[in-house]
Structure 1
Amino acid sequence: MPDVKPLADDLCVCAFVPPDKLAELAPRFRTIINNRPDAEEPGHPSSAEIEAEARRLGLDYVHIPVVPGKISDDQAAAFGEAIARRKGPFLAFCRTGTRSTMLWALSQSGKRSPDEIMEAAAAAGYDLNALRPKLAEKAAT
């Protein structure tokens, strides 16, 4: 089973989850958020394949593909909207969990302080120090 790490009461992140591992996770989550673009790695299943298995298991599914190092404000807003409009608990994944953590952090700006966001990420094992200036800037506006 993937190493699932909590960021908030109803949100966890982890590394890539192949469709055949979703059944193990289904009892714990209601919505899966996939942050990997299709064809990120050769031989990995497409978003459509993962979505089909998630839906077969009765899970909601959201695909917000993010290229590493290129997270946009629109993607962060889409992530925030997904967790605001859908039912949790949520599991977000990408290659390592870092992009999913960054999307969550950016979507929480204005709802949590930069320190709270950084502490939650660090407790889950993710170093978001490079994101701190952007979080502080968003908090100031």
Structure 2
Amino acid sequence: MDIRQVNPSFAVADQLTEADLPLLKAQGFGTLICNRPDGEVDGQPGAETLAARAREQGFDWHWIPISSGNFTPEAVMAFDLAMAATEQPVLAFCRSGTRSITLWALAQSTRQTSAELVAAAARAGYDLSPMAPLFDARFKG
């Protein structure tokens, strides 16, 4: 598990397993957001199974699956609502963390400039600079 801190209330990671949950709880995470669709790769834990184990350990859980870079307005809104209405800090995950940080940036893009979002992603090891024009189009200042 590769956890990358984006800001004090949000981090992203690659695929989680049930075995990771106690460590995440010990690190203080309150909410998990799964951005992987079920069945993406063989051996991947199913979202409902992982959700049940996460809830047993006291996590808030949200499943907002993104496939093939399909960041729908509904997914962006669901992510934004999940971030606003859950116990922080939040850890979002997918296969590599890229979909999760992209979804976060899209959700934040009405409140932060593209430069701020690209810089935050870069500090976490992700290059979102190609998406800067989309962030700019959404920014309302």
Per the shorter chain, which TM-score range? Answer: over 0.9
**Aligned residue for 1:92?**
92
1:47 equivalent to 2:47? Answer: yes
| Unmatched segments (≥5 aa) in structure 1 | none
1:60 equivalent to 2:60? Answer: yes
1:68 Cα shift?
Answer: 2.8
SS in 2 for 1:7: strand
1:70 Cα shift?
Answer: 1.2
SS in 2 for 1:77: helix
| Unmatched segments (≥5 aa) in structure 2 | none
SS in 2 for 1:43: coil
Contact kept? 1:36, 1:95, Cα under 8 Å = yes
1:140 Cα shift?
Answer: 5.5
Query: Which letter does structure 2 place at the counterpart of 1:139?
Result: F
Contact kept? 1:6, 1:124, Cα under 8 Å = yes
**Aligned residue for 1:24?**
23
Q: CA RMSD in A?
A: 1.3
Aligned length: 140
**1:36-93 per-position Cα deviation (integer Å, ceiling 9, x unaligned):** 0000111211001110110111111000000032111211111011000111110000
TM-score by structure 1 length?
A: 0.94
Greater mean deviation of Cα atoms: 32-41 or 67-76 = 67-76
**Aligned residue for 1:11?**
10
TM-score by structure 2 length?
A: 0.94
**Aligned residue for 1:79?**
79
**Aligned residue for 1:35?**
35
Q: Point out 4+ residue stretches in structure 1 off by more than 2 angstroms.
A: none
